[in-house]
Amino acid sequence: MSVAVGSLFTFDNSYARELGALCEPWQAAPAPAPRLLALNGELAAELGVDAEALRAPVGVAVLVGNATPEGASPVAQAYAGHQFGGYVPRLGDGRALLLGEVLDVHGRRRDLHFKGSGRTPFARGGDGKAPVGPMLREYLIGEAMHALGIPTTRALAVVATGEQVVRETMLPGAVLTRVASSHVRVGTFQYAARQDPALVRRLADHVIARHHPDAGDAENPYLALYESVVDAQASLIARWMLVGFVHGVMNTDNMTISGETIDYGPCAFIDAFDPATVFSSIDHGGRYAYGNQPGIAQWNLARLAETLLPLIHEDTDAAVEAATEVLSSFADRYGRYWSDGMRAKLGIPGAEEEDGSLIEDLLALLKVQRVDFTSFFRALSSSLLGDAAPARALFAEPDAFDAWSGRWRARLTSRAADPRETAEAMDRVNPVYVPRNHLVDEALAAATAGDLEPFHRLLDVLARPFEVRPGLESYALPAPPSFGTYRTFCGT
Ligand code: AMP
Ligand code: MG
């Protein structure tokens, strides 16, 4: 159905236009009784769209896929991917559609993308649908990541379809509208590489123009593109690690070329610091454990390199050598982003040789004493202002903390920084509020049962993660012991 809603968005669909071999024109399945559950007013404004127009029935019809706005050219995108290490040659948008691309008020190109909008030619055995809970979860965690300053796709809206979807139980269905700088994945390159080298080149040219324009001016643009992606991912994963985020399903089809976090499925934030933390019920081997994420990113980037070799150099050995050199730089790049981030979390000015062991020793201490990762850094800044009790209280054996803290304070005073300024700088990078698993579960259970109030309250808390607000004390606390060991079920 096409409805005259042309004034909502101004589309310019470069992907559908330039890369027809990598997508299939398709339409969303009709939703019987759409109801808007959440709309991101701030993001709507950024897209240059009137939020009130999106809230109106015709706007909701667009956001659920019942009306195709003028200028849209909905396509299901093809991609392949290594899932838990095993190659699947044809995945693609099984229940998603790229509605089109819009230029936002800053002139940036953004994809508008549905998830849960019905079966597509890539649906395989799936029903093409999505329940309300997981779509609101993607909305919530994406917004939390954005507020934490981490590159991510964002949610524009979640609309309930009025239909029930069959999972372990019957659940209310929903469509998520997601906004991304693009949906090109490592898996998109893998898919293209199996089709035709000329297609990989067209895809590479598309993403150079769109995400890594500097690479276009390099002597070897495709090698420079690769280096740009390696660097963007090193930075992204460091940011995840610094806030305790576990993606949970870092398959190559869930890794973007832009460097944005994508596909919030069984993801979660760690409470106690432990590199072995796994939340996903389907990650039996712990492949995507918190501490494995940098190594997995590098593994995924090796898969990307394989697709680019023919573009990098006509001589395969020369191509492999050049790509390997860039890939090997991942560890250093990641290490730098991560150490700089850790120094900022600890208020450490400059960089000294001894910082490495100071950081390593702290992490060992946090792990052994199972200290809450998020709470620790805020308590640490308080300790700088004379109140060491909150930090000490996080340790079963505070003497070990005291000893470490003495070294840390000596390192700080070596540069004679003002403690208040240091504490304030720490508080600007260490969140008070993260989407703790028990809070997310609580909000989504209520939403699934029809009460959206806890969801909107939590969304509001997570929108300003660095600022202590009175009355929100419970949002800063770890899960009560009764919550037990957390598992997220893909249940998508
Ligand atoms: P994900 O694990 O969500 O990243 O999805 C992996 C692949 O499975 C993608 O190709 C999805 O499009 C597809 N998929 C996931 N759930 C469904 C569903 N309910 N119906 C059709 N395809 C799906
Ligand atoms: Mg995915």
pLDDT single digits (tens) 164-192: 999 999 999 999 999 999 999 999 999 99
Tell which one of 82, 91, 135, 153 to mutate to probe ligand 1, the residue whose CB is within 8 A of the most ligand atoms.
Answer: 91
Could you read off the pLDDT of 446-468 as tens digits, one per residue?
A: 999 999 999 999 999 999 999 99
pLDDT average, residue stretch 205-216: 98
Confidence category of residue 337, pLDDT binned at 50, 70, 90 = very high
Q: 265 CB under 6 A from ligand 1?
A: yes
Confidence category of residue 486, pLDDT binned at 50, 70, 90 = confident
Amino acid identity, residue 292? N
Question: Cβ contacts of residue 417 below 8 Å, gap of 6+?
Answer: 347, 349
Q: What is the pLDDT of residue 2?
A: 43
Please give the structure tokens belonging to residue 193: 């590489």
What number does the ligand 1 atom closest to the CA of 490 have?
A: 2
Nearest-CA residue for ligand 1 atom 13 is: 94
Q: Does the pLDDT at position 1 exceed 90?
A: no
Report the share of the chain in percent with pLDDT over 70: 98
Q: Does the pLDDT at position 153 exceed 90?
A: yes
Residue 30, phi then psi, degrees to nearest 5: -65, 145
Please give the structure tokens belonging to residue 188: 């998109």
Q: What is the pLDDT of residue 3?
A: 44
Q: Which ligand places an atom closest to the C-alpha of 89?
A: 1
Q: What is the pLDDT of residue 490?
A: 55
Q: What is the pLDDT of residue 477?
A: 96
pLDDT average, residue stretch 332-347: 98
Please give the structure tokens belonging to residue 109: 């190109």
Could you read off the pLDDT of 80-114 as tens digits, one per residue?
A: 999 999 999 999 999 999 999 999 999 999 999 99
**Closest by CA position to 75, among listed 38, 28, 34:** 28
Residue 282 C-beta-side C-alpha neighbours within 13 Å: 14
Distance CA 341, CA 104 (A): 30
Distance CA 26, CA 20 (A): 12
Confidence category of residue 293, pLDDT binned at 50, 70, 90 = very high
Distance CA 246, CA 145 (A): 12
pLDDT average, residue stretch 38-49: 97
Q: 172 CB under 6 A from ligand 1?
A: no
Distance CA 164, CA 228 (A): 43
Q: Does the pLDDT at position 421 exceed 70?
A: yes
**Closest by CA position to 141, among listed 243, 50, 42:** 243
**Domain map (residue ranges) of the chain:** 2-180, 186-338
SS3 388: coil
* C-alpha 249 – ligand 2 centre gap (Å): 8
Q: What is the pLDDT of residue 484?
A: 84
Cβ 80 vs Cβ 87: under 8 Å: yes
Q: What is the pLDDT of residue 268?
A: 97
Angle at 222 between CA 217 and CA 228, to 5 degrees: 80
Alpha-helical (H) ranges within 65-147 are 132-147
Amino acid identity, residue 450? G
What number does the ligand 1 atom closest to the CA of 79 have?
A: 10
Nearest-CA residue for ligand 1 atom 14 is: 94
Question: Cβ contacts of residue 254 below 8 Å, gap of 6+?
Answer: 81, 185, 187, 247, 262, 263, 265
C-alpha 333, offset from chain centre: 19
Cβ 92 vs Cβ 78: under 8 Å: yes
How many residues in the chain?
492
Confidence category of residue 5, pLDDT binned at 50, 70, 90 = low
Q: 431 CB under 6 A from ligand 1?
A: no
Cβ 180 vs Cβ 153: under 8 Å: yes
Active site members: 253
pLDDT average, residue stretch 316-344: 98
pTM more than 0.85: yes
Confidence category of residue 229, pLDDT binned at 50, 70, 90 = very high
Q: 452 CB under 6 A from ligand 1?
A: no
- Residue 262, judged by CB atoms within 10 A of its CB (0-12, 13-18, 19+), counts as buried
Please give the structure tokens belonging to residue 99: 């509605």
Q: What is the H or E stretch that residue 174 is in?
A: strand 170-180
Question: What are the C-alpha distances in Å from 342 to residues 35, 369, 386?
Answer: 43, 19, 22
- Residue 167, judged by CB atoms within 10 A of its CB (0-12, 13-18, 19+), counts as middle
Q: What is the DSSP string of 310-364?
A: HHH-SSHHHHHHHHHHHHHHHHHHHHHHHHHHHHHHHT--S--TTHHHHHHHHHH
Cβ 164 vs Cβ 173: under 8 Å: yes
pLDDT average, residue stretch 14-36: 98
Residue 165, phi then psi, degrees to nearest 5: -115, 150
pLDDT average, residue stretch 8-23: 96
Q: Does the pLDDT at position 383 exceed 70?
A: yes
Q: 232 CB under 6 A from ligand 1?
A: no
* C-alpha 469 – ligand 1 centre gap (Å): 39
The mean predicted confidence, pLDDT, of the chain is: 96
Tell which one of 84, 98, 262, 492 to mutate to probe ligand 1, the residue whose CB is within 8 A of the most ligand atoms.
Answer: 492
* C-alpha 389 – ligand 2 centre gap (Å): 44
Confidence category of residue 407, pLDDT binned at 50, 70, 90 = very high
Q: 283 CB under 6 A from ligand 1?
A: no
